[in-house]
C-alpha cells in the first residue's frame, strides 16, 4: 500500500492541519482556499503542493486519501458529504455541520461508505492538563462524578463583531465554541448527554451584524445520571479560557484562571493540590497523527466517529432548545 496523501481545504487553522499531517508522515499534495491572497502565499510557502481555487477540485482528486475541512462553518457539511461519498477519510474542523438535517446527511453518507473514517478537531482532548485530569477521573481519584460544569470564555468579541461569523445568519456560539466544552465533559463523564435546556442573550454584540445570541447557557442531563452546565460566552471580558469544574463524591477538580486545582477535603484549612500540567498545551494539528494511525488500523483516534456524533447532537439539541424555549431530547445517530 502506498503512503497516505492528504488535502486541506481552508488555509486559516488549516495551516496547522498541514503540520499535523507532516508530523504523521503523510504527504500533503493539495491545498485549497477561495481567497487568492491565501493561494498566492501558499504557492510560495508550500512548493510542490497543488493549490486549488475550489473545494470541488480538491474533493474530486483521486490521489487524495484523507481530507481536512477547515473552511467556514456553514461550508463544512456539503464538503464533508462530498468527501465521504468520494471514499476519502475526513478530518473536519468543528463544527462538523450546522444542524440536524446536515448531521443526518453525514450519517447517511458514512453508512453508505463504511470504510471511511471521520474525526473532528475538538482539540482539548489533547491538552496535557485535561488528559491528566481524565486519567485521574478514570482511576477513581474524584470518586463518582455527579455534576460537571464548563464555560467556554471566548474573549475574542472582535471576531463576532467583524469577520465571517457575522455573515452566517444562523451562526451558533454553542457549535462554534461551546462544542469544545461539551466534548470535554462527555469525555470526562464517559456517558452521552441525553437531554438539554438552554437560555441565551445578545447583550455584548447588540447592534452588530451578528444575528444570534452571543451568550448561551445550558443544563445537561447525562445518560448515567450525572448533571451538568455548559456556557458559550462569546462576549466576556476575559482572556480566551476553558473554565471547568468536575464534582465527584471524593474530590473536585477546577480549571480556573489561577490554575488547575484538585480539592480533596471539605476542610477550609486544607490547601488544594495544584495541577500544573500544561494548559492548553496543544497545537491545532495534534489530533491528526492519532487519526492517521486509526486509519492505518494501528490504534484508536482520540476523537472517534461516535464521539463526533454525540457532541454534535448535544450542541444541536441546545440550539433547538434555545428556539423552542423547552427542554429537548438529544437525538442518537
Ligand atoms: N479546533 C479549533 O480549535 C479551531 C480553531 C480555529 C478555527 N476553527 C474552525 O476552523 C474553521 C476555519 O476557521 P479559521 O479560524 O481558520 O478562519 P480563517 O478565516 O482564519 O480561515 C478560513 C480560510 O478558509 C477559507 N475558506 C472559507 N470557505 C472556503 C471554502 N468553501 N473553500 C475553500 N476555502 C474556504 C477562507 O478564505 C480562509 O482563508 C472554522 O470552522 C472554525 O470554527 C477551529
Considering the domain architecture, whether residues 215 and 161 belong to the same structural domain is answered as yes
Average pLDDT in the chain = 97
Q: Is 8 in the pocket of ligand 1 (CB under 6 A)?
A: no
Among residues 315, 311, 290, 158, which one has the least CA distance to residue 231? Answer: 315
Considering the domain architecture, whether residues 176 and 322 belong to the same structural domain is answered as yes
Answer with the one of 116, 149, 177 that is the final residue of a domain. Answer: 116
Answer with the one of 77, 98, 116 that is the final residue of a domain. Answer: 116
Helix, strand, coil shares of the chain, percent, nearest 5, are: 35, 25, 40
pLDDT tens figures, 187-222: 999 999 999 999 999 999 998 888 899 999 999 999
Q: Is 41 in the pocket of ligand 1 (CB under 6 A)?
A: no
**Which grid coordinates belong to 275?**
495541577
Tell me how far the alpha carbon of residue 180 lies from the centroid of ligand 1, in angstroms: 16
Considering the domain architecture, whether residues 220 and 236 belong to the same structural domain is answered as yes
Considering the domain architecture, whether residues 51 and 183 belong to the same structural domain is answered as no
Strands, E assignment, 33-107: 50-52, 66-69, 89-92
Q: Is 35 in the pocket of ligand 1 (CB under 6 A)?
A: yes
Considering the domain architecture, whether residues 35 and 154 belong to the same structural domain is answered as no
Helix (H, G, I), strand (E, B) or coil at 67: strand
Query: Ligand 1 atom 18: the closest Cα is on which residue?
Result: 12
Say what the pLDDT of residue 210 is: 84
Q: Is 98 in the pocket of ligand 1 (CB under 6 A)?
A: no
- Cα gap 250→102, rounded to integer Å: 41
Is 187 a member of any domain? yes
Q: Is 280 in the pocket of ligand 1 (CB under 6 A)?
A: no
Considering the domain architecture, whether residues 135 and 271 belong to the same structural domain is answered as yes
Considering the domain architecture, whether residues 86 and 158 belong to the same structural domain is answered as no
Q: Is 12 in the pocket of ligand 1 (CB under 6 A)?
A: yes
Say what the pLDDT of residue 166 is: 87
Q: How many domains, the chain?
A: 2
Is 31 a member of any domain? yes
For the residues of 237-290, what is the DSSP string, one character each?
Answer: SS-SEEEEEEEESS-EEEEETTEEEEE--S-TTSPPEEE-S-SS---TTTTHHH
Among residues 138, 150, 114, which one has the least CA distance to residue 305? Answer: 114
**What CATH number is given to the structural domain containing 21?**
3.40.50.720
First to last CA, the chain: 32
Considering the domain architecture, whether residues 109 and 9 belong to the same structural domain is answered as yes
Considering the domain architecture, whether residues 100 and 147 belong to the same structural domain is answered as no
**What CATH number is given to the structural domain containing 239?**
3.30.360.10
Considering the domain architecture, whether residues 73 and 16 belong to the same structural domain is answered as yes
Query: Ligand 1 atom 24: the closest Cα is on which residue?
Result: 10
Among residues 325, 327, 324, which one has the least CA distance to residue 314? Answer: 327
Tell me how far the alpha carbon of residue 258 lies from the centroid of ligand 1, in angstroms: 31
Answer with the one of 116, 149, 172 that is the final residue of a domain. Answer: 116
Q: Is 78 in the pocket of ligand 1 (CB under 6 A)?
A: no
pLDDT above 70 coverage of the chain, percent: 100
Tell me how far CA of residue 261 lies from CA of 75, 93, 231, in angstroms.
39, 30, 21
Q: Residue 249 is part of which domain span?
A: 124-284+312-329
Considering the domain architecture, whether residues 111 and 128 belong to the same structural domain is answered as no
Atom of ligand 1 nearest to the CA of 35: 37
Is 305 a member of any domain? no
Atom of ligand 1 nearest to the CA of 38: 39
Among residues 102, 229, 232, which one has the least CA distance to residue 160? Answer: 232
pLDDT tens figures, 79-119: 999 999 999 999 999 999 999 999 999 999 999 999 999 99
Amino acid at each position: 500500500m502506498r503512503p497516505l496523501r492528504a488535502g486541506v481545504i481552508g488555509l486559516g487553522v488549516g495551516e496547522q492541519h498541514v503540520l499535523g499531517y507532516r508530523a504523521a508522515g503523510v504527504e500533503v499534495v493539495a491545498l485549497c482556499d477561495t481567497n487568492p491572497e491565501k493561494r498566492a502565499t501558499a504557492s510560495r510557502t508550500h512548493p510542490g503542493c497543488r493549490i486549488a481555487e475550489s473545494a470541488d477540485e480538491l474533493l474530486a482528486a483521486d490521489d487524495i486519501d484523507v481530507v481536512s475541512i477547515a473552511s467556514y462553518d456553514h461550508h463544512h457539511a456539503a464538503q464533508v458529504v462530498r468527501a465521504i461519498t468520494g471514499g476519502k477519510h475526513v478530518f473536519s474542523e468543528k463544527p462538523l455541520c450546522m444542524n440536524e438535517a446536515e448531521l443526518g446527511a453525514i450519517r447517511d453518507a458514512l453508512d453508505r461508505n463504511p470504510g471511511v473514517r471521520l474525526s473532528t478537531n475538538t482539540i482539548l482532548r489533547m491538552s496535557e492538563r485535561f488528559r491528566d485530569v481524565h486519567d485521574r477521573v478514570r482511576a477513581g481519584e474524584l470518586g463518582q462524578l455527579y455534576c460537571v460544569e464548563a464555560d467556554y470564555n471566548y474573549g475574542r468579541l472582535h471576531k463576532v463583531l467583524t469577520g465571517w461569523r457575522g455573515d452566517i445568519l444562523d451562526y451558533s456560539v454553542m457549535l462554534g465554541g461551546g462544542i469544545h466544552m461539551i466534548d470535554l465533559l462527555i469525555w470526562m463523564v464517559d456517558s452521552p448527554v441525553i437531554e438539554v435546556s438552554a437560555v441565551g442573550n445578545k447583550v455584548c454584540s447588540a447592534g452588530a451584524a451578528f444575528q444570534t445570541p452571543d451568550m448561551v447557557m445550558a443544563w445537561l442531563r447525562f445518560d448515567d445520571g450525572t448533571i451538568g452546565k455548559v456556557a458559550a460566552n462569546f462576549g466576556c471580558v476575559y482572556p480566551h479560557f476553558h473554565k471547568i469544574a468536575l464534582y465527584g463524591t471524593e474530590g473536585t477538580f477546577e480549571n480556573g484562571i489561577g490554575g488547575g486545582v484538585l480539592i480533596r477535603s471539605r476542610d477550609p484549612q486544607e490547601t488544594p493540590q495544584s495541577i500544573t500540567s500544561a494548559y492548553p498545551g496543544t497545537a491545532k494539528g495534534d489530533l491528526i497523527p492519532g487519526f492517521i494511525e486509526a486509519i492505518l488500523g494501528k490504534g484508536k483516534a482520540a476523537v472517534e466517529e461516535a464521539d463526533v456524533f454525540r457532541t454534535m447532537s448535544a450542541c444541536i439539541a441546545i440550539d433547538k432548545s434555545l428556539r423552542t424555549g423547552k427542554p429537548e431530547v438529544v437525538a442518537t445517530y
